[in-house]
Each structure stands twice: as C-alpha cells, then as structure tokens.
Amino acid sequence: MVILTLGRIQATFAVVLYLVLLQTLPITALSEEDSNHDCLRSCSWPPKPRICRYEFTVEWSFSMSKACYNCPFNMSDCHRPHCFTLDGVPRAVAVVNRQFPGPHVQVCEHDIVFVKVNNLLINSEGVTIHWHGLHQRGTPYMDGTSSVTQCSIPAGSSFTYEFTADTPGTHWWHSHSGLQRSDGIFGPFIVKQSAPDDPHSGLYDYDFPDHVVFVHDWISDLAVNRYTGHHLSTSSGFPDSVLINGRGQKMEFFDQNTNQTIKTPRETFHVQQGKRYRFRTISNAILDCAIEVSVDNHNLTVITSDGFPFEPVEVSRFVLYGGERFDFILDANQPVGKYWMRVRAVGYCTGANVQALASLIYEGADDEPVTPEDDPPIRKGVILNPVNQEPSETVMNVNQLVALEKKDEAPLENVYRTVYLGLDFEGVNNPIYNHPDYYPSHAVSRRHWTFSSQINHVSFKPPAVPPLTQHSDINEFEMCTLDNTMAMREHCKEEYCECTHVVEVELGKTIELVLVDEGKPFEGTHPMHLHGYSFQVVAMKKLGTKTTVEEVMELDQAGGIVRNFTEAPQKDTVIVPDGGFTAVRFVADNPGWWLFHCHLEFHNTIGMAVMIHVGKDKDLPPKPRDFPRCGNWYPHGSEEPTPTPEPSGAVRRFSRSIIAALLLCFAFLFVKVFFV
C-alpha cells in the first residue's frame, strides 16, 4: 500500500531495485534457461504486456541417474543439470525439459503466453497440460483437460497452447492425463502484477522466483503401480515421503570414507535479517494427504489463496490440500541462524509419519541449525485451514478469511440454482476392480475392499471425445444430468453406477454448489477444484462424523446454513469437511465445458468428477482452425459394423426407464384409439 500512495517514482525505483537483486542473489531453484527468460521480469506500471514463448518437452527419465554422477557422496553433483535426487530412491519419473519440478513460468498480468508441448513419452502415452488457476476466458480450448476440452497430444507430436495470463497470482501447470502429475509432470506458473496493482506490495520487500515452495507427497514406485495395487491388491494408500521443490530424504547412503550415513540434499532458502519476503506455496498432493507448513521460530503472515488476496492473517502454521496455493510473508526478524521450514503430511496421512525439511538460512549464519531436526514441539498459535476442525481462538478455516475486494451482494444473493453434490467413498461392486463372479466385493476380505470416490453415488466416465469441440459426436446415452443421478440415488447406493456426469448451467446465471462430504466409511478429505472459474466460499461447517445430502438440504431449507455474500474469500480449490459441507457460489459468465473434480489424483482417476456445462455451443468463441479431433471408429460398409457400446451404470438404467415409460404411453394410446 505504501507504493500506491507514493506514486510512480517509487514504483520505478522498486523495479530497478528488483532487477539489481535478481542479478546478485542466488536463484538456485531455477534452471539457467528459466532464469534467463525474457518474461521473468519486474512488472511495469502501467502494464506493458509481452509475448512469452516456451517449449515443453515431455519425456521419461530417472531419479539418481548417471546425470547425478557421485551424488550424494559429492554434494555438488546433486545439483547438476538433469539430476533429480527426490528422496534418494531411484525410480522412473516423467519430466518436462528434464527438470523436477518442471520449468518455472513467470509472466506479468496480461502477457500473451505460447507454450509448445512436445510429447516424447516412450510408452506412446498421450498428454495434455492444464493451466491450474488460469480461467481461459475466451480461450476455453486451451484449458488442457483431456477428453473434456481437447484430445490428448499423441506421442511423437506437438500442440501449442495460446492464452492470456489474465488471472494474477500463484498458479501452476500440470498434466491432466492419466496419473502423469503423480510421476512428475508439473511446475509453477506465476502471474505477477506491478507494485501499484498488488494490494499487498507494501507488506514485503522481496518476491523472488526461488521462493516458490512446491510441496507434495511422494511414492517410491510409479503411480500406476501404486494405484492399481491399491485397488486390486493391498498396496498402501500412504506416501513414502514428502518433497519440497523435488527434494526430500528417505534413502540412506553409507560413506565408506567417513564411516557415516548420508542422505540427499534438502532445499534451501536464503534471507537477510530485517527484510520481509513473499513466499508462494503450491500443493501437488496426489494421495489423501493434507500438507502442513511452518517455519521454526517464525510466524507467517498469509496474504492470498489461489491467487486472490484477503486481509492478512498471522498464523503459526497453515495447511494446504491438493491444488491449493497460499502466499505468505516471512519477516526475517530472528537472530541470524539456520532455521527449519517443516512440511509434514497430516490428516489421513498422519499415520505415515513423513515430513520434509528445508533450510531457511540467514545471511552470515553457520551450518548448525537453531532447533533440532526431529520431534519438535508443534508450534503454538493460530493454524489456518486445518483438517476437519471447527473454528476457535486457535483454528481458522478458509471461509473466515475476509476478501480484500468486496463483492456486490446482489449477483451472488440471487442464485439461479443450488446444486447439492454428495462426496464420499462408496463400497459398491466396482466392475473395474472387482469381478461379479470371480472376486465380487462381498466375497473378498476386507483388506481387499475397493472404495470408489464418487459424486452423488456416480463415478465419472470420461467421454470418448471432448464435448467442447465434438459435442455432436458424443453418444448422448453415455451422458447423465444431475436430475438423472438424483433420481437414481437410492439405487446407486447399492449398485455401481457410472456415466459422463454433467451439470447444466445457463450462461450469466449465479450458481451455488453445496458440497457434502458424507463422512463414510472413514475420515478423508476432498479438495474440489473448478476449471474456468473461481468461486466465493460462502459457507463451511463440519456437522459431525457423518451426514447426508438429504440432511444438509433439510438444514438449508430450515435456514440453518448462514452464508456470507460480500466478504467471502475467493478460491478455485476448496476443502470439504468430512461429515460436513462447503457452499460456493459464482456467476457462470465463462461459456464452456469445465471439469469440477477432487484434486487428489487417485480420487479423480477413479471417478470423483462432474462436468459443468455453461451456456450453449453458440455461446462459445470460434474454435481454432485445424483443431485436433479424435474419437471412436468402425469400418463403414462392413457387413457387421462394430456396434455402439451399451451405456452403463446409471445411464443404462435411466435410459431403460425412459424407454419403458414411452412404450407404456404408446400402449395406452393404441388401446384408446382401437378399443375405446
């Protein structure tokens, strides 16, 4: 706020100072290519948008490979190009430009971005890249969601994304095909503002690219191995470690020269005493893990979530769920020393007992940490966004945050439609992971039970073609609407149901989603992410260990859900309390087909998703010329053409109900005409 009042001279000075510091301070987290990119700059005021071009090459690689030479016995080798130490455990990884995390993209608000993606995956797997947090207004074809907004990019080919960076804040990019995000295809996407445009610019001195903090759970084998093993056998649902910017410590190495056990290096962050730093944290959680972040001896001032600013709150620690981002300011006001940034898996993953440490090193500090590594006392004070806790003096949930940009109450208060969506793990006989004759769910031992993450007791079946570009090619019998699934709700509680689940929304109307985590059969979390939009979190409450959609609807009808329409924080990813609800609202002014899904990779893959269809085909911007197509095929003119697969699950049963009703009507008319 200081720069806003002092005007353009101070803003110009801030730009010059930033550029000087950018050249003099070490930026170890960025590759040489990333740190030298033309668009990595201080953002000018008034804005001067640039065209920013990037090239992503997607391929398989390996951690602790020959690129690491003698790492970790020679620690400098661990920092060589193309060396991914991870937690020290060798495994195959999918990477972009041979970096982990992938390339650091930093642009200024209103820049035009081109990203050419080359798919060199040796297993011939398709890929798409989603720009998480970018709303793609006017460019819905660039959202990067496989089977929804585009066909996957085939191996050996390329696809160029083009869009405007019109949503400032801390965002990220990641694969939206299969389980690739779990194996390494992700990276930061930071959209910065000029100092006068940033409402929090007066609260910090520095905002460096190497102060982006990527946190996530990590598994020591390929994601497809763990995923299939978890659902078809007894593979663990817990992570093996936690990583900070691709660095952690699990594997131990014995150094024969020193007779000591050593590990791979941790991430480090450098600060100067007396200065204030903006850190940007991003969660790439893939399992049911919440990630708690704290810094020894330091309180943290949290200022934004998912790119949207709110009134600053000082906390001792905060929690991120998959897909969420929080920016915080660290005041380097402690004695010169080395302090630990602690990142640990909590919630359902508490039992895994895994954490990662990064070094926060003051300039002039020696190598001895101020506090011990192991078993520190949990920092006292306020915790933001904890797992399944009700608000108190020391607990703050995200719906209590106060948005800086106050909203006009009228558009959000006059809701066009309220949609209730039940989220949970269902023990139905999923035919993908059970066989009705050989190993049905009721016949196997409890440790082999498969719980399907569903919405309204229905698993999402991705369409064969993207409806955004090939709507007319979709078999309508494969699709179902909210009315269908609500009508079949009781039946689908007992039998497995799947379909291409769609929520239809009129363009320009205000829609409310009431998300209900019914809380069975065990305590879990579901961070729900909406493509193409942000929303206001107008209500959130944990009701108990269990609840139902019907109970929440009754509570709402009785006036038991109090909503905040003017100061509610804005987000694009939000947690739903187990045994409770979260209500979000947004104006549906961005036409397209937008995925709404749980951002835990395993939950999304097994079917916890719906598509939000806003507007009609006529409302869409023109499709880019020669946009790729895909779909089913059978040999035309053959004597026995391949039949269209029969719809399954809820759609099949609902379709049969409609047919039966029509036949009954025809029979009634026949009798009336000929026999009456």
> DSSP letter string over 418-436?
EEEEEEEEE----TTT-BT
Q: Report CA torsion sign: 224, 226, 231, 237.
A: negative
Q: What does the pLDDT average to over 515-534?
A: 90
State the Cα–Cα distance between residues 598 and 461, nearest whole angstrom: 14
Cβ-Cβ contacts under 8 Å for 545 (sequence gap 6 or more): 519, 523, 578, 579
Please give the residue that has the higher pLDDT: either 475 or 611.
Answer: 611
- 397-421 pLDDT per residue, tens: 999 999 998 766 656 678 889 999 9
Strand ranges, E, within 124-196: 129-132, 158-164, 169-175, 186-192
The pLDDT of residue 368: 84
CA 37 to chain centroid, in Å, comes to 26
pLDDT at 651: 47
Tokens read off for 488: 């079949």
Tokens at 532, concatenated: 């193409």
Residue 662 has pLDDT above 50, yes or no: no
Mean pLDDT estimate for the chain = 87
Q: What is the mean pLDDT of residues 495-506?
A: 91
Rounded CA-CA distance 268/270 in Å is 7
pLDDT band, residue 246 (cuts 50/70/90): very high
CB 279 within 8 A of CB 203: no
Global confidence as pTM: 0.89
Please state, in angstroms and as integers, the Cα–Cα distance from residue 675 to each residue in 665, 666, 672, following that order. 15, 14, 6
Burial 415-452 (b: 16+ CB within 10 A, else e): beeebbbbbbbbbbbbeebbeeeeeebeeeeeeeebbb
Q: What is the Cβ-side half-sphere exposure of residue 417, based on CA atoms within 13 angstroms? A: 16
Contact 401, 311 (CB under 8 A): yes
Residues 6+ apart with CB under 8 A from 133: 167, 169, 170, 171, 172, 189, 306, 307, 325, 572
**Length of the chain in terms of residues written:** 676
- Of 627, 309, 265, the closest CA to residue 465 belongs to 627
pLDDT tens-place string over residues 414-456: 888 999 999 987 777 777 888 888 887 777 777 777 777 789 9
pLDDT 10s digits, 186-212: 999 999 999 999 999 999 999 999 999
Q: Give me the amino acid identity at 134.
A: L
Q: What is the pLDDT of residue 345?
A: 93
Band (pLDDT 50/70/90 cuts) for residue 165 is very high
Quick check: 574 and 528 in contact, CB under 8 A?
yes
- Spatial neighbors of 602 by CB under 8 A, at least 6 apart, are 227, 230, 237, 286, 287, 288, 453
